[in-house]
Every structure is written in C-alpha cells, then in structure tokens.
Amino acid sequence: MGHAGTLDPMATGVLVVGINKATRLLTYIVGTSKTYEATIRLGQSTVTDDAEGDITAETIAAAVTDGDIMTAVAELTGDIQQVPSSVSAIKVNGERSYARVRAGGEVNLPARPVTVSRFEVHDIRREAGGKLRDVDVTVECSSGTYIRALARDLGTALGVGGHLTALRRTCVGPYSVEQAATLEQLAENLTVLELDDAARALFPVRELTAAEATDLSHGRRVPPSPAGPPGSDGGAPVAAFAPGGTLVALLENRGPAGAEFPAAYAKALLVFAPGNEA
C-alpha cells in the first residue's frame, strides 16, 4: 500500500491510497491539482500558520473591509511565488523543516512558483466582538501549494496577520470526497475504486487492438498514441486498455530511435496486465 500525499494534522478530506498494482499510479497522482475548502482567520498569526500552533501576534482586524480582502485574494491568485510554511515536511540539510522549528530553530525556505487557479471567497464574518475576521474560501491549486501559507500571506498583505482555522481537501486530481470512504466504513467493507476505473479517470485513454495488447505485454513497441504528437518527449502518459477493458499499460510517445525504429512509436512506461487478460 502507499499514498499520494498526506494531509496536515488538523486537515480532513481526501487521501488517495493505492493497493497492490495501483501503487504504481501514485507517482502520477502526486503532481495533480488539489482543491480545498478552508477558513482563514485574520488578526492572528501562529507559529504553524494554522490553529495547531501557538499565537505569535495579534492585531485588531476591525478596519479590514470586504473589499480589502477581495483585493488581496485577487493578488494571490494565478501564478505566484510562495514561501512554504516553515512547519512543513520540506527537508533542509537532511532534516524536516517542521522538526527544526519545533526544536526551537529557525528555517528560511526559498520562494517557489505555484499556481492558484481558483481562490474563491464564500463568506466573510466578524469574530471576537469584531476584532477578528473569518473568511471561508475554496482554493484550487497546483501540487506543492501550501494553503497555510496562503492564509499567512493574505494576513500579511492586509497588515493584520492570518492563519487557518479549518482545512478540508475535497479533490485530488479527478478523485473527489464524494468517492471517498471513512476508515470506519472501510473497516466494515473495503470498497475500492478499481484500477481500470482509476486509470480512466486520471489519464487520456487509448483503446488497443488485441495484437497491440499482446505486443505491449511482451515489451514490444506499438504505433504512437494520437493523444501525443509523434516525436514528442511524451507529455501526459496515456492509459492503454485491451479490448476487454483491462488496463494493460501506461504509454508515452517517443521519437525516432534510429534505423530499427525510424518512425515515432509508443513505449510502455508501466505494464499492468498481459495481453491475454483481455
């Protein structure tokens, strides 16, 4: 078994777990986009950028208007440079950043490019007698984006500090919370998304002929997939299915490889089933 990315300690929501052959898909799931529902509290900063950490600063946020919040949210949408939360799993000289911070050390992580394709505000309300402002949002973002860091940066942009008080991951790539089950439900009935269905949701699909399925199962190349231009370096892998609907392999288009393969072709990155399983 394996997983495609953990959740923060206070977070809930989707955790994609692979079993047996499906663990081989996890590499491709890790880099997919994620969607979160979150609540950001303006007026307080914490050491962890979420409610798990001690409060390090408090500023009355009563003067922050809805318009101020919307403007700052817009500036944090799109392709941005983000400094990850210092209490994160990023390694610094072989040590996890969070371990160094919790031991009393300091960590200065460099900014890195991330994409926030959606930063939608649903509700803004006053808390603590108006001293604090809570903002409910939905964020859709690239892999590697820290929602805690978005909360911190929103508070910094508004001059009052900010942190997360709630976080729920609702989607990982094509997999949503509606498809998920709790641990208690899985303990009673281990229902899973079948490998074939998981691959069809995640990748472009190629339907193989019986001969192509057999060739791939024996390590032979097949003609290039229409989903990728001939001669490309691959792009998104393609899930290739035998005539019976069984996932046979993940394919990547390759360019000419000399006299033996003078034309473009598709090569199996991973082989899941022999052709005779069709």
Write the pLDDT tens digit of every residue in 63-77.
999 999 999 999 999
92 DSSP assignment: E
Distance CA 251, CA 234 (A): 8
Q: Is the pLDDT of residue 120 over 80?
A: yes
At position 122, the amino acid (one-letter code) is H
Structure tokens at 9: 């300690």
What is the chain's mean pLDDT, rounded?
A: 87
Q: Spell out where the chain has E strands.
A: 2-3, 12-13, 17-18, 34-42, 44-46, 55-58, 78-82, 91-92, 95-96, 112-127, 132-141, 162-172, 175-176, 205-207, 238-241, 247-254, 265-271
pLDDT of 186-201, one tens digit each?
Answer: 999 998 999 999 999 9
Q: pLDDT of 150-164, one tens digit each?
A: 999 999 999 999 999
Task: Name the pLDDT band for 51 (thresholds 50, 70, 90).
Answer: very high
* Residue 276: predicted pLDDT: 42
Confidence class of residue 8 from pLDDT cuts 50, 70 and 90?
A: confident
Mean pLDDT, residues 99-110 taken together? 66
Q: What are phi and psi of 88, to 5 degrees?
A: -135, 175
The pLDDT value given to residue 227 = 47
Q: What is the distance between the alpha carbons of residues 42 and 39, in angstroms, rounded to a whole number? A: 10
pLDDT confidence of residue 265 = 75
Judge whether residue 247 has pLDDT over 50.
yes
Q: Render pLDDT for 30-39 as a digit per residue (tens, 0 to 9).
A: 999 999 999 9
CB neighbour list of residue 205: distance below 8 Å, 6 or more residues apart: 238, 239, 241
CB 50 within 8 A of CB 167: yes
> Is 215 designated active site?
no
Read off the pLDDT band of 228 (50, 70, 90): very low
State residue 28's pLDDT score.
93
| Sign of the Cα pseudo-torsion (103, 106, 111, 115, in order) | positive
Residue 217: per-residue pLDDT: 87
**Predicted local distance difference test score (pLDDT) of residue 159:** 97
Supply the pLDDT for residue 277. 37
pLDDT band at 103 (very low <50, low <70, confident <90, very high): low
The pLDDT of residue 107 is 66
pLDDT given for residue 254 in this prediction: 80
Catalytic residue among 8, 50, 134, 153: 8
- Over residues 128-142, mean pLDDT: 96
More confident residue, 98 or 149: 149
pLDDT at 256: 64
Q: Is the pLDDT of residue 59 over 80?
A: yes
